[in-house]
Chains A and B, each alone.
Chain A
Amino acid sequence: MKTLVWVEHDNTAVKDATLSAVTAASQLGEVHLLVAGSGCAAAAAEAAKIAGVGKVHVAEDAAYANALAENVAPLVAGLMADHDAFVVPATTTGKNIAPRVAALLDVMQISDILSVEGPKTFTRPIYAGNAIATVESSDAKLVITVRGTAFAKTDATGGSGTVEAVAAGADSGLSSFVGSEVAKSERPELTSAKIIVSGGRALKDSDTFKAVIFPLADKLNAGVGASRAAVDAGYVPNDFQVGQTGKIVAPEVYIAVGISGAIQHLAGMKDSKTIIAINKDEDAPIFQVADLGLVADLFTAVPELTGKL
């Protein structure tokens, strides 16, 4: 089976999420990549070095600069004439594009797969991760999004893919990119961080959140996450949210501070290797999934912990 993997990149570098998608794709067969963008030669060169990669299709055009689904989906649908599966990392970009491609191909997408069980059989989480469904596709072509935390990352080096230019399609004229507000952060990116310190509503306000959570995260070189309550209350920006509707993470260590552990939050972090909870309510649901729990007032316990590390 020939698979086409969507390469998530910022024109200069390939993003980590791609490497997990390549692992999933390689379990299906021969791996080809698609690098679409504007001025993306560096990303294409980097993509060609990913271990086990065959052809790297490069679509270089202003129309692909911001990965607008209206422009990218027809490009992918065209390339699918020669491929059996389109494999996409389940990032916001991937989730935006893949279903549009699937509909153009008249196939059902399989979202957020956790494992490859057979050539057309996959497992995926449903009901906020409270159940795992094993599904088999009857479609001629597959469109799959891959949960990054469920697959190891393929080695980013050692490969020798052949780069091949793809003719660009026309700009759809249906949509245009206006601008973006990307949060700058010195900390490790949430979805690839080894350690995450997350805060919830109990942190009171934005200043308190920063004063309590950030020093601990800095000490551990950890990413910072948050529950929906903390984001809704404006303590931190939206992209900090961990959960069913935010980011899905599975770090080595997840430290939940002042988070009760609602179903929707657990959906985003319960595959973490070790979960540590600090909460003053000993009946909080978070303690049912935590490997290590500390029942204590976070305002004294967290600074003390930070100080003793």
Chain B
Amino acid sequence: MKALVCVKRVIDYNVKPRVKSDGTGVDLANVKMSMNPFDEIAVEEAIRLKEKGVVTEIIAVSVGPAKAQETLRTALAMGADRAVLVQVDDGVEVEPLAVAKIVKGVADEEGPSLIITGKQAIDDDSNQVGQMVAALLGRPQGTFANEITVEGDSVVVKREIDGGLETVKLALPAVVTTDLRLNEPRYASLPNIMKAKSKPLVTKSPADYGVDVAPRLKTLKVSEPPVRSAGIKVADVDALVAKLKEMGVA
């Protein structure tokens, strides 16, 4: 079966984002960008399914600027077979609904049995694309996956929920979104990074899938979160106990 993996180029998770002083957004100029951590987990899971002989081909797809090619090359270096970049102009942010429509377009063309996405991107923190893709395709969804097992024509997904874990069984084709503990993504080796350069990567545009990427949400402003006032350090446990008593906690 074919697997389609969605990856997003985002600010590196170790970078502390800075809000632009004019309030129009977060400053991404000269900031290190990487593959969204949850998407690395998605790519890794597809590769593991291929190594088990369940998946035969892995297609990585990304919606973003020309530089998102680098993110797709990373996926190819990890083990994806080919890639599709749905390119938009620099600085254009495509909302989850439009991304989901584009992914649906790619899925209609490719006919994957499994679509794997990260549970959320660490930039917009939306947590929507996987669910929306499933809805648009009219297929089942296994969100926040902790474990994935393909059994014949269905996939069993153990999900991370608020109180613990829950297991659901989904008819294939299905959409799965990855949680942190699904796996430990591998690093791409240098030879594989070199090989990835010659793997196929096609560039498309949203119009190829008939998708309008005009935003539905208008960002009026982006501001810094309220700053906490500086705290104090106490000398010892007794001082801490005294403070807790003062606060009425103990």
Contacts and interface: CB of A to CB of B under 8 A. Distances in A.
B194 interface: no
Contacts of A264: 13
B243 A244 contact: no
Contacts of B171: 173-175
A292 B243 contact: yes
A57 interface: no
A149 B181 CA distance: 25
B223 A132 contact: yes
A62 interface: no
Interface in B125-149: 125-136, 139-141, 143-144, 146
Contact of A305 (B146, B233, B237): B237
Given A100-B135, A134-B221, A127 B164 contact: no
A87 to B, nearest CB: 16
A294 interface: yes
Contacts of B220: 121, 134-136
Contacts of A108: 95-97, 215-217
A51 to B, nearest CB: 25
A110 B150 CA distance: 33
Given A91-B162, A135-B219, A175 B140 contact: yes
Nearest to B146: A238
B241 interface: yes
Contact of B125 (A73, A180, A191, A244): A244
A270 B223 CA distance: 16
A288 to B, nearest CB: 8
B217 A138 contact: yes
B233 A176 contact: no
B233 A295 contact: yes
Interface string A244-267: 110100001100000000011000
Tell me if A's interface is mostly helix, strand, loop or mixed: mixed
Nearest to B232: A292
Contacts of B224: 131-132
Contacts of A232: 180-181
A132 B135 contact: no
A254 B106 CA distance: 46
Given A111-B126, A174-B171, A178-B156, A96 B163 contact: no
Nearest to B225: A132
Contacts of A136: 217-218, 220
A172 to B, nearest CB: 8
A18 B91 CA distance: 37
A274 interface: yes
B11 interface: yes
B237 A220 contact: no
B109 interface: no
A301 B161 CA distance: 34
Contact of B240 (A107, A287, A292): A292
Given A92-B160, A181-B164, A99 B135 contact: yes
A171 to B, nearest CB: 12
A95 interface: yes
B124 interface: yes
Contact of A296 (B16, B133, B236, B244): B236
B247 interface: yes
Contacts of B233: 282, 287, 292-295
Given A132-B225, A263-B16, A138 B218 contact: yes
B243 to A, nearest CB: 6
A195 interface: yes
A180 B123 contact: no
B34 interface: no
Contact of B216 (A131, A138, A183, A289): A138
Contact of A128 (B100, B125, B159): B125
Contacts of A177: 166-168
Contacts of B52: none
Contacts of B231: 275, 287, 289-293
**Among A111, A177, A232, which residue has the most Cβ atoms of chain B within 10 A?**
A111
Nearest to A303: B237
29 contacts: A70-B140, A95-B143, A99-B127, A100-B131, A100-B132, A108-B95, A110-B217, A111-B127, A121-B220, A125-B125, A125-B225, A127-B122, A128-B17, A131-B222, A133-B221, A135-B217, A137-B218, A138-B218, A174-B140, A177-B166, A179-B167, A182-B163, A182-B165, A239-B160, A245-B180, A253-B247, A292-B234, A294-B237, A304-B237
For the complex of A and B, the 9 pairs showing the least CB-CB separation, nearest first, are A99-B131, A103-B135, A103-B132, A99-B128, A108-B216, A174-B140, A178-B167, A291-B231, A175-B140
Given A107-B216, A293-B231, 9 more contacts: A96-B144, A128-B125, A135-B220, A172-B140, A181-B166, A292-B240, A293-B232, A304-B237, A308-B238
